[in-house]
Amino acid sequence: MYRHLLVPLDGSRLAESVLPLAGSLARGFEAAVTLLHVIERGPPAHVHGDRHLTDRAEAETYLDDLAQRFFPAGVAATHHVHGEVEADVPASIVRHARELGADLIVMCTHGRGRLRHQLFGGIAQRVLAGGTVPVLLVPPAEGPAWEFSCRRVLVPLDGRPEHAQGLPVGIAFARACGAAVHVLWVVPTLGRLSGEQAVTGHLLPGTVSALLEIEQEEAERQVRHQLAALAANDVPTVVEVERGDPSGAIMATATRIGADLIVIGTHGRAGMDAFWAGSVAPHIALRAAWPLLLVPLEVAP
């Protein structure tokens, strides 16, 4: 499925927490790995409590040591240091993914609370906004570093055809890992609408409630159709419909089923509210304890 993983590292132990997971994926997918460090213009002296790498030779030694320690002999693990000083690190990551032929970027969300919010919006989201390569976001390990064992993949849908593009990716990922797929179709309640829908719901609550009931019936019909279509796959699949807040329903379902990975399609546009209406993907990325695979969507003109 994925043949070349790109792992950006800034020299911090937090960023390094993705390496055991990247090693597991490389073995499972028989993929090559490139560890990347970009020399940043005017960097702080320390990053997440560790000294910031600003010297190319030192960064080369650092990445070479990580490649040897975290990836077995059977994995083709190399490293690359972008020695020219860069003012825009996310843009440099996107360029390197394209130039190196990477088909998956693996990154740590870095930290908690406000710090995690800033880093997700400033780095990982900008990598998504600037490229077409899926990004696997990994929350920092609370205890031992991640050892990825994927048994159940959660794929949320919302009825929009473009968002269904994440489903084949989730199925392919599950097949490669020998995992099952759980498809969750979320229909919002009246109180959970956002944007223009929320305004309409306030002015015409009866009409919007009736439309939401119709939407749920349509979702259930499409779920039955989806199940029939998925029956041809060799991946065990469950499909269900939930009503309520999308991000809350996704988080609750992930906890209930013991999800190991959440796969979400995203438009990847700049801005924290550009993933889904209601900022579903950022809400999950900032709160979830699971790896989150964000798949850039192709939208027909």
What mean pLDDT, rounded, does the chain reach?
75
Higher pLDDT, 198 or 186: 186
Higher pLDDT, 181 or 1: 181
Arithmetic mean of pLDDT, 283-288? 69
Q: Which of 14-18, 51-55, 153-157 has the lowest mean pLDDT?
A: 51-55
pLDDT digits (tens, 9 = 90+) for 24-70: 889 888 999 999 998 877 666 656 666 667 788 888 999 999 999 99
The pLDDT of residue 78: 94
Which position has the token pair 């990154």?
Answer: 107
Residue 10: pLDDT band with limits 50, 70, 90: confident
Residues of the chain above pLDDT 70, percent: 63
Higher pLDDT, 53 or 94: 94
Q: 86-120 burial by CB neighbour count: b if 16+ within 10 A, else e?
A: beebbbbbbbbbeeeebbbbbbbbbbeeeebbebb
pLDDT of residue 97 exceeding 50? yes
pLDDT digits (tens, 9 = 90+) for 192-243: 444 444 434 444 445 545 555 555 566 566 666 665 666 667 888 888 887 7
Higher pLDDT, 187 or 99: 99
The pLDDT of residue 253: 93
Which position has the token pair 């997440």?
Answer: 48
Q: Which amino acid is at 227?
A: L
Q: Which domains does the chain have, with CATH numbers?
A: 4-138 (3.40.50.620), 152-296 (3.40.50.620)
Q: How do strand 180-187 and strand 152-157 relate by DSSP bridges?
A: parallel
Residues of the chain above pLDDT 90, percent: 23
CA–CA distances in Å: residue 49 to residues 13, 42, 43, 217, 238: 9, 17, 13, 52, 43
Contacts of 80 (CB under 8 A, 6+ apart): 34, 35, 36, 37, 63, 96, 100
> What is the DSSP annotation of the chain?
---EEEEE--S-HHHHTTHHHHHHHHHHHT-EEEEEEEEESS--SEETTEEPP--HHHHHHHHHHHHHHHS-TTS-EEEEEEEEEES-HHHHHHHHHHHHT-SEEEEE--SSHHHHHHHIIIIIHHHHHH-SS-EEEEPPPSSSPP----SEEEEEE-S-GGGGGHHHHHHHHHHHHT-EEEEEEEE--GGG--HHHHHHHHH-HHHHHHHHHHHHHHHHHHHHHHHHHHTTSSS-EEEEEEES-HHHHHHHHHHHHT-SEEEEEE---SSTT-SSTT-HHHHHHHH-SS-EEEEEPP---
Residue 127: pLDDT band with limits 50, 70, 90: confident
Arithmetic mean of pLDDT, 65-80? 90
